[in-house]
Structure formats: structure tokens, C-alpha cells
A and B are shown apart, each in its own frame.
Chain A
Amino acid sequence: MEAYTATVLVVSIGLQLVAAVMALRLIRLSLGSGTAWILLASAMVLMASRRIVTMVGLVRPGVEQVVRGPVAETTALVVAILMVMGVGRIPAIFRQRDELIQQARALAEANRLQAVRLRTILDNLVDAVIVSDAQGMVALANPAARRLFGLPDNDTTAQPLGDFIGPYRIRNPDGSAVVYEELPLARALAGEVVIDADTIQHRPTDGRDIHARNAAAPIRDEAGRIVGAVAVSRDVTEQMEFERLKDQFVGVAAHELKTPVAIMKGYAQALMRTDQTMSADVTRRLAAIDRGADRIERIVEDLLMVSELGVRQLAMRVEPVDLAAIVGEALTTVSPRAPRHSLKLLTTMPAVVSGDRERLRQTMIRLLDNAVKFSPQGGDVEIAITVDAGEAVVSVKDHGVGIAEDRQARIFDRFYRAHTDTPYDCGGMGVGLYLAKKVVTQLGGRVGFESEPGRGSAFWFSLPVQAETQRGKGAAGRR
């Protein structure tokens, strides 16, 4: 055995020498002479030879196998020659290996930097980020998410999404409880991209109610399979509180306007009633004050309703209401202030629905006022009440300016005024149709319209009629 070891040793020393010589020759060829270069070259050779020894160590078992045979010396020689021939390539191989290692290190460093960068972004985001796996286990929650839910900072254990519902009392803005399938992350896990889903949740750590605005999206692998989901939530509690205060303020301000309006209106009416000696001129002026007060009152009512809708649904007093009576009352109100129009009730029939008498009367007045307002040249306004297939439909048709087609889609939007910047801008706050739709839909009905620019519009609303047997029970309905 020692002979073999000795042979290998000889071979390796030989290789080192050959390598050193070849390296020196190469270096001389490329760099010219000089002591410094020689020293450098020697250092390099030493390094190279150490590697060669390592290499030989690696091939040693093989060489031993070979030199053990009958033609040991020849084989050893061949091996030595082959290896010497290969030595020339050894520096290149090592250079390649070093480059690969360098690249791998750079890649690892870049990955590390990227991870740090992402982690820093996540840690400092104002918005909460929660990632779940495909099974609905929370895999990541950034500090903002921990703040939003009041989770302990060091809690890294996976938690099922469903566990969040109970203690956080997650609910929809209307107050109804959120079930698992409605959670933004659960919806995303089902494949949906969720935008602007609002939830309200209780935060156990400080007992506060947090209003969150959430977005969520599924995470897919290369094959498109959902492997998880990410949700981003923003704490909009303060913003919502501000909105609420604003709506409340509008409500209070509108309310404060009512008393002075009552004074104006009351005294104008009192004067008209009592002083019979007044000239027709004075009476007319007083009547104008009274009408002005009425207009302020209607604006105040609109503002109150808009502010109420900003805070909650409209309070409704639901009882059986005959739409024919409502329409009659509305006509009595609107006809005197539309002297140039002819308000015609074309068809009418009893149509008892579940509704809020006052709100429906207001709604009817809004539709009639609109028809009058947007047919400034005067003319007929046609009203019809029909009952068909369990549905009562009230329609108001004018022959006025109509609504441009590109403005029809937004006609029921809050504050939208279809005639802004047109010759037919007849004023108003842009809330009449919005409020009409809110009232009718909250009562379970529908609204709609047909309109032709220059020819007029026909607005209608419908409500389910009450069966005879249900009469009198309507008051127990929704609020």
C-alpha cells in the first residue's frame, strides 16, 4: 500500500512541478519578466498546486485502482501525462467555478436585498397586509395588520381566517354580521378580485370599532392554481367619522334653518289673512315671501334627507298607502306653482302599497316638480297610475327638454345635474331623483325613465301592491 501512496505522491509532486513550470511560462509570455511578477506568479502557482493536490486527492482512489494492475507503471505514466495535459485547463476550470460561486453569491445577496426591501415596505406600510395560504391559514400579517386587528407583535403562528370573525365581530357597514364566505380574503381564495369592500370590526385590545376598507386578490402559481390570497386593508375610521360629522353638521344646520323659515312663512301668511285692507300688490308680495319660504323649506328637507342617508338608511313609517291618494295630494301641492302647465291625471285606480305616506308624497312632488321645471315652455304633464302583475306603476311624462343620452346613465346619482352647463340649467341641488330612487328602492320598488332629448322625459316608479288580505298589516313592516 505504501508503494501506491508513494506513487501518488510522486505523481502529484510531478504535477505540481509541471503546473508550476507551465504557469511560469505562461505568465512570462504574457507579462514579460520582473521580480515582482515572478513573485506573484509563484504565489499563484502555489495556490494552483494546492488545488491540484486537492484534485489528485479526489482522483486518488481511481489512480490507485489503476496502478495496482500489472501494467502499473505504464498506466501511472499515462495518467500522469493525461493529467499534465489537463493541467493547462485547470486554472480555467477553477476560474469558472469561482465565477459561478461569485454569481451565486451576488444572486443570494440580491435576493436578500430584495427580501429586506419588501420586508421594509411591508413593515412600514400604513395599510394592513394579510396573506393566507390556500387553506385559509394566515401566513403573513404586517405590523399595520397587527395594529388593525390588535394582534401581538410576536405572534407568528398560523391562524385560520375563520378565527378572526368571532372575537373581532366583523360586520358589514349596515351592521349585519360577516360570514366566512364574505371575508375579503375568503372571497379572493374563491377566485374573486375584491375592491373597496368595507367592514367594521371590533378591536379587542382597545375596544374600538375599526372601519376598514379592504381589497383582496388571489395568488396563483404558474399553472393558474390558487395557492393563497392577499388582502390589503386601510383603517378609514377617522375618515368615516369625519364624514359622519359632516353629514351630522349638514343635518343640524338644515334643522336650524327651519325655525327662521317658520317665522317668515308664518308672518307672511298671517298678514295675508288678517289685513283685508291691503292692496293686491302687497298681497302678491307677501305671497312671494311665502313661496320663497316654501322653497327654502324644500331645500332644507332635501338637505336633511341627504345628510340622513349619509349616516344611515331613511327612517320609514311603513303603512298601507293608496298611491292614488298620494298622487292627488301631490297634484294639489304642485299645480298652484305651475300656472303655465297643465297637470293631467290620465289614468288612475286604487293602488294600495306598503309605504311611507309622507316620503311617497315628497317623491311624487319631486317627479312633478322636475317635469314642470324641465318643460320651461309650459304644456302638458301627463300622470298615470296603473296596476299590473302585482305592481303599481306611477308615471310622470313631460314634453320638455329631455336628457342627453350621454348623461342618462348618471341621472339618479347623488348631486348629479344633467343640465349643468346647458341652456336648460334650471337650478337645483342634484338630489331630487337621487332621493326619489332611495325612497322607492328602500320600500322594495323600482324607478326608471325614458327620455328623448328635445322631446321630453317620462319618469316612473313602481311598488308591489298589497294583497287585500295584507291590508292593515303593513305598519308592522320595515323601518
Chain B
Amino acid sequence: MGRALLVVDDDPDLNDLMTMILGEAGYQVVAATNGQEALAAVTRSMPALILLDMKMPVMGGAEFTQAFRERFDHLAPIVVVTAADDARRRAEEIGAEGWLGKPFNIGELLAKVQGYLR
């Protein structure tokens, strides 16, 4: 069956990059450019993991997380991928399962994803 990964980032280049890297690593990837699109995506099909940017137009990462938790509880873990000063603190603030600071190494990204899918 192999549930997909959801990549949520408003920067098209970064979104493409993550989609490409994860795709090449063998994952099925669904992309969204803001929280609202991401909510629509999870409603259609629950991903195995959500890689979530924080600062996005329309609906940011924090608002998405709140809405997602209210409707779906913890059906999929959320990894915050942010350029914020303290990615870990931001992740803890919104109750996300993991964090990854921008810029990241590809190795770090793949390791994080693998860790949550185990």
C-alpha cells in the first residue's frame, strides 16, 4: 500500500527539491504549498508523515497543525522544516513530533524521514 509523504512548503524550489529527493529515495510524495492545500490533501488520503514549513501564506504551519490535530488527532506525525532561529523550539511549541532546520543536508532529511517511518 505504501502511504505517501506530504511535503508542505510555499517555496516552489524547496518544495520541488524535497519532492525530488524523497521521490528518488523511493517514497511516494504529495506536495502542498500552504496549510489549506495540505488540509485538503490529508482529507483525500492520510499520509504516513507530514513535512511542514512554518511560514506560509493563506495558512501557516502552526494553524495547519492545530486544525489537523482537531480533526485527525495524531494520525500522521508532523516534522517541522523551518528556517526559524530555533526549529526545535518551534516544533515543541506547536506540538509537532520532529523538526529539521533549514538549510539541511539531504542525508539529514532522509534520516529524519526514515526515523519516523520505522
Give 1 or 0 for each of A260-291: 1 = CB within 8 Å of chain B CB.
01111111011001100000000000000000
Q: For A259, A265, A274, which residue has the most chain B Cβ atoms within 10 angstroms? A: A259
- Contact check, A315 vs B103: say whether CB atoms are below 8 A apart: no
B5 to chain A, nearest CB (A): 16
- B70 at the A interface (CB under 8 A): no
- A317 at the B interface (CB under 8 A): yes
- Counting contact residues on chain B (CB < 8 A from A), the size range is 10 to 19
A241 to chain B, nearest CB (A): 21
- B58 at the A interface (CB under 8 A): no
- A367–B17 alpha-carbon span in the complex (Å): 34
Partner of A262, one of B84, B86, B102: B102
- Contact check, A262 vs B14: say whether CB atoms are below 8 A apart: yes
- A261–B11 alpha-carbon span in the complex (Å): 12
- A64 at the B interface (CB under 8 A): no
Q: For A255, A266, A304, which residue has the most chain B Cβ atoms within 10 angstroms? A: A266
CB-CB nearest in chain A for B87: A358
CB-CB nearest in chain A for B106: A269
- A293 at the B interface (CB under 8 A): yes
A304 to chain B, nearest CB (A): 6
- Contact check, A263 vs B88: say whether CB atoms are below 8 A apart: no
- A308 at the B interface (CB under 8 A): yes
- Contact check, B102 vs A259: say whether CB atoms are below 8 A apart: yes
Q: How many of A's residues come within 8 Å of B, CB to CB?
A: 21
- A434–B14 alpha-carbon span in the complex (Å): 33
A78 to chain B, nearest CB (A): 107
Give 1 or 0 for each of B15-48: 1 = CB within 8 Å of chain A CB.
0011011001000000000000000000000000
- B72 at the A interface (CB under 8 A): no
- Contact check, A266 vs B14: say whether CB atoms are below 8 A apart: yes
- A304–B85 alpha-carbon span in the complex (Å): 8
What is the interface of chain A mostly: helix, strand, loop, or mixed? helix
Known: A315-B86, A315-B89, A317-B89. A262 touches B103 (CB 8 A): yes
Known: A263-B11, A267-B17. A258 touches B88 (CB 8 A): no
CB-CB nearest in chain B for A272: B106
- B104 at the A interface (CB under 8 A): yes
Q: Which residues of B contact A267 (CB under 8 A)?
A: 13, 17
B17 to chain A, nearest CB (A): 4
- Contact check, A266 vs B11: say whether CB atoms are below 8 A apart: no
- A297 at the B interface (CB under 8 A): yes
CB-CB nearest in chain B for A301: B85
Give 1 or 0 for each of B47-86: 1 = CB within 8 Å of chain A CB.
0000000000000000000000000000000000001111
- Contact check, A266 vs B85: say whether CB atoms are below 8 A apart: no
- Contact check, A259 vs B24: say whether CB atoms are below 8 A apart: no
Q: Which residues of B contact A261 (CB under 8 A)?
A: 102-103
- A270–B104 alpha-carbon span in the complex (Å): 12
Q: Which residues of A contact B18 (CB under 8 A)?
A: 266
CB-CB nearest in chain A for B85: A304
- Contact check, A255 vs B103: say whether CB atoms are below 8 A apart: no
Give 1 or 0 for each of A325-362: 1 = CB within 8 Å of chain B CB.
00000000000000000000000000000000000000
The 26 listed contacts between A and B (C-beta, < 8 Å) are: A251-B85, A255-B83, A255-B84, A255-B85, A259-B14, A259-B102, A262-B14, A262-B83, A262-B103, A263-B13, A264-B103, A265-B103, A266-B18, A266-B21, A266-B103, A266-B106, A267-B13, A269-B105, A270-B106, A273-B24, A293-B103, A297-B103, A304-B85, A315-B86, A315-B89, A317-B89
Chain A residues in the interface with B (C-beta under 8 A): 251, 255, 258-259, 261-267, 269-270, 273-274, 293, 297, 304, 308, 315, 317
Top 9 A-B residue pairs of the complex, sorted by shortest distance between their CB atoms = A262-B103, A258-B83, A262-B102, A266-B17, A269-B106, A263-B13, A265-B103, A261-B103, A258-B102
